Amino acid sequence: MTDALYGAIEAGGTKFRIAVGTSPDLIADTTIPTTTPDETIGASIEFLEHYAGQLKAVGIASFGPLDLDPSSATYGSIIRTPKPGWTGTPFRELITDALGVPVAIDVDVGGAAIGEWTWGAARGLDTFIYMTVGTGVGGGIFAGGRIHHGMGHPELGHIAVAREPDDDFAGHCPFHGACFEGMAAGPAISARWGERVTDLVDRPEVWDLEARYIAQALRTLTYVVAPQRIIVGGGVNRNEGLLGLVRDKLSDQLAGYGTNPVVDSDLTDYVVSPEFGQDAGLVGAIALAAGLDH
C-alpha cells in the first residue's frame, strides 16, 4: 500500500516551488523559474503527476492578487497582476482539471499563515497575524480559527503610519507615498538611506527607525484585530535583534492601553519570528491541502 500525499505549489513572481509531502518534512521538491502560465503551471503539473496515484489534494500559495471568493465564477484565478501574461489565469482550475483532486488556493501570505498555524509559530491560536516585511509588505490574518479574507484580501502594506519626527523621507509607495510599505519595505529603506539594505546592516539608526515604523503597524493591527500573536517574517527580519527593537518600540507605543492582555506583557510571546522562514509558502501549501482532507 502506498501512503497518501499532498501536493504543494508555492507560486512566486520569479520562481515556483513544487513539492509533495504530508507535513513540513517534504518528501520531494523542485524549483522552476516563473515564465509563462502555460510553461510554469505545465511544469508544476508534470512534477505532481509523478505522484498521481498517491495525491489526495493540492495546495497553492500564490502571488496575487487572487480571486478568493468561492462563489465567484473565476474563483482561484489571478486577477489584474502587472506580471505579463498572468492576469486571468485560472490557476486553481488548471490544477484541478489536470490532477483530478481537490485544490485549495490562497495568497502566499495566507498560505504561510495557515502553515504556521498548522505546524509552526501559531499552533493552537484562534486569532493571529502573519506579516512579511521585505521587498514589499504582505500579511495574512487568522481570526476566530480561520483565515480572514473579507472582500478581496487584506493588504497590510498600505495602512497609514505617522511620519517619525526624525524622518523626512517622502515615501516610496506609488499609490500612497508614505504608507507603511512606502516607509518600511526594503526599497523604501534603500531609497531613504541611499544604499542597498545589505550594506546598511551595521547602521543602528537605520534599524531603530525601521523598528518604529514596524511597531506603528503592529500597534494598529493590535488595536484592529486584537490578535494573540503577530508573526513577523520577510527579509528585514534577517537583521539580528530587529524583533527585540520592535518589541521595545511597540511596548512604548501601546503605552499600556487596551483590553488585550499583551499590552501589559514584555511582548516576547506576542511578536515572534516565523518557524518556517524560507519554506513558509511551501509548508503553507501543504497545510492548505491537508485542510481540505477531513
Instruction: Using CB under 8 A, list all residues that contact a copy of itself.
Output: 64-66, 79, 126-127, 141, 143-144, 146, 148-163, 175-176, 178, 216-217, 219-221, 223-228, 253, 255-262
Sheet holding 26-33, edge to edge: 26-33, 15-21, 5-11, 55-62, 103-107
In angstroms, give the least distance from the CB of 227 to a copy of itself: 6
Nearer to a copy of itself, 102 or 152 (CB): 152
Beta strands in 144-228 (DSSP E): 146-148
Helix 37-49 crosses helix 91-99 at what angle (to 10 degrees)? Answer: 30
Nearer to a copy of itself, 15 or 146 (CB): 146
Q: Which of 292, 229, 266, 286 is nearest to 115 (CA)?
A: 286
**35 vs 72, beta carbon nearer a copy of itself:** 72
Edge-first strand listing for the sheet containing 271-272: 146-148, 137-143, 128-133, 229-233, 271-272
| Residue nearer to a copy of itself on the CB measure, 227 or 274 | 227
Q: What angle do CA 94, 146, 82 make, to 5 degrees?
A: 45
- Its sign, for the CA torsion 273, 191, 213, 202, is positive
Q: Which is nearer to a copy of itself, 84 or 144 (CB)?
A: 144
Q: Find the shortest distance in angstroms from Cβ 228 to a copy of itself.
A: 5
Angle 12-26-284 (CA atoms, 0-180°, nearest 5)? Answer: 45
Instruction: State the minimum distance, in angstroms, from the CB of residue 127 to a copy of itself.
Output: 4
Q: Closest distance between a copy of itself and the C-beta of residue 81, in Å?
A: 11
CA contacts within 13 A on the Cβ side of 35: 9
Q: How far is the CB of 267 from a copy of itself (least distance, A)?
A: 13
Q: Which is nearer to a copy of itself, 54 or 253 (CB)?
A: 253
Q: Least distance from C-beta 288 to a copy of itself, angstroms?
A: 18
* Strand residue runs (E) in 12-99: 15-21, 26-33, 55-62
